[in-house]
Chain A
């Protein structure tokens, strides 16, 4: 604001050029993300013969036969509902267990802190398909095999490290002075957290919750092994898609992607809701 332009015209030109570059950059990035999605959806709406023709058309014939196949597929709605339940429970578990840990890591200095952080991350560095066998044995023995909770426990294990790390960096970014101010105003430690810190951290927590949701939504292997009657949508559809005919691949892909898109869309405002009242 206080810059003193000695040559206002060229400065304006630079500005305009800068804005143009910016707009182009945004457009390119938006297209980069959207075009592949469009290709998926367009093909899901194409007739089978169209999908295997060459050159392929970018505008579909709006043939809903392939999509309709999935909606008529036995049990798809149950599977969808199971997926939502598992994902929601996963979200709650991951944040409920992860946020306190993230808070502790950001606010206290204590022996073992770095080790904990490190070990939590490392739980993500091991291939789940191998862990599925001992987990399945344990679940069958304890009777939580083939339950929503059982699968959510496994998914929460996958999501928990993300939740811990994201909440850790979030809480680290919130000045501890704000909390201290709240204490001087008579808040207990707990109240200071719920009334001052959590509102500030809410967008990030929402982001990490979305994350947990999506991790659960897209997880195939554990879901395929650990659920039988309560199949999730991914276990139900995705693992057989790669061997299905092309038009069904696209339609099935779309059936899986659309709910996830809608969910992110539904929570998109939480990613920004608290933006305006953050600490500035």
Chain B
């Protein structure tokens, strides 16, 4: 996978290549986990997406960007903070409050009359702020490893949700023969078995706003559901329309088939 190669390159660059014995552990297939949004009629568990956003915001966002996300997405149709009273997601008070809690220079092109960048509170139309200004800074802060952008992470990994869930809950005690390089953690669901990301979830790191007990499994499920929604925010509309389209085509097919039988009824063929 990408991360291992980046890590391998980083190790080599830092001159560890000679000292760190290469560790190639067996990669486990992802755990089978049931998702609320599985299947042709499955919808996102709205509460789970909300809790997952809390995890992203309080835990993941310190290293991982989500460049494709805007605050308004959280309130759009199918989003975690959608409210019927606010069809325009930019008016949604929850999202305005979330966006407004960030103050920073959002856009280098937004300047005042002196030509200096403006520092202002976030708006629902602003992108999720990235934790690092650039790739080099991200690497420098993470022992050479680059924390990937999470906007599409569920789609960008073979195994999707199950892979991510397994990875987040898959930090086990390292086998004796592993000889992990410094700063590496054992996780058999990750290709190669050695991952640079420290176990991100632990009992008690978070208190859910809705009072749900924050076990590691619960947090992993919630954040995976959130990331799944973030990668495919129109899934519910898509499935609903799919059902209607298939019904329409089915009726159409039956009618045309009957017409076909009628037209060909007296013809030898």
Tell me whether A and B are bound partners: no
